A and B are shown apart, each in its own frame.
Chain A
């Protein structure tokens, strides 16, 4: 009925009240606290922080609560808040070599200086549902393992680099581009691509990374190193001749090394794919590294055949806040345009029927 599309204001307010009620769920069950989310759903918090591009665990946890556990919605909440924050400077590059490592594994060397540190991982767990978690039992405390020793753990890629077997990391003297302050344009430099991938959707990058493993831009990757832990973040303050530490971030870094047979200008050597993500987000960091390497196809003179190698395709569609908005905008009324299509379709059908009728008449006459 025509009246049904009217009165939107009241309907919206009511829908939002219902949403708040559903978010709370059964009031007989205690409300979830932000601290509980922060402590017990920490990987969800990390994903929201990473793709929300805002390092604030508490706000991310609040967003998850507000979004009823819908992580893309939570990411969106955090991004919208981020827009309103002033920017007071750029930090110095973080040194992941100086990381306070909680987890560090290498798939390319059985043993290496500092050893393999498993840390908190789902790897090697048997994925059997644990009925004990229905209760509120306390976990057994983990035993402190052998101390990895004094000083920072050298990065595996640095160990390889010393022998010249792997390409050098490019020097990053230039001011890096920032896609949150400048519109993305193509061709996009690697630092811009990495930025887009770091805040890109985990599921999208996972699928793209997976596609490279299945032969769409195969790059023979090895996980040279995955490390997770705390890094110090520092900023240069005008007037001071030393960098001022601002605090610590937990990040996950993945360095993939990939076979490269060499080109006219470069010797045969391993090349790199790089992933760096806020918090503990291993799957994302690995997928990011695979995508980064695939996107370097042009630079390394490789044939560009697969979606994962196409920067315009990958970067234009990696952002889940953009993607969800545009897909879901199909819920908005489109009846003006639909009317226009309806009108055209009726006209074309009328013409079609007239033609058919004419044909029949001619046939009957013959």
Chain B
């Protein structure tokens, strides 16, 4: 939902980043306002997932230039855990398995640290149990997932539901969902997307990183951006995603090449 008076939640300016000495992001500009849903699409290796990880503070990536403000605060001055407390959420493309840590204790520890960071009260185990069970209904998850180790032995769909459950629990301002649709069958996709839709409001925003238009049938984007070689080369509305679905990326990439060739000339 676009409201040009809404306040800016995430403001990315001229962001460049490297991994292992290779420049992946070559100048990203993106403004995300409250209430908006953005989709970032693009071919493999265009830097979509890197953008998601850089924002969340993954230690393998080095920011080499540009600024990012999260509700006006300098994101890169914050450690990864402080970004989460400040309201940033990354839904992982490959959620990490942690054998030996029960999902319930992980979720409660995460919730309580984030709450404390926001100056709110913690929940004791019983209160949290009620709270989390309510949220699990959103994602049609069985309570038995609380007793299992974090993501350990979960199917692809179960892992992605567990990601969105964490989003539901932590109530972030800005959620970046990295290929949340990958590996999901149609029922799981419907459930996961339905969960995300219920969590979206006029006060928060969501950035969907995806390969496929399929997800956007369920979660309607206000903006669709196409990334290529570490830059956003085109921005449109949801019609752009449909056009990409039928025409592929080549027409944009060719245009991009000739445009830069012209600029160079």
A binds B: no
Interface residue ranges, A against B (CB under 8 Å): none
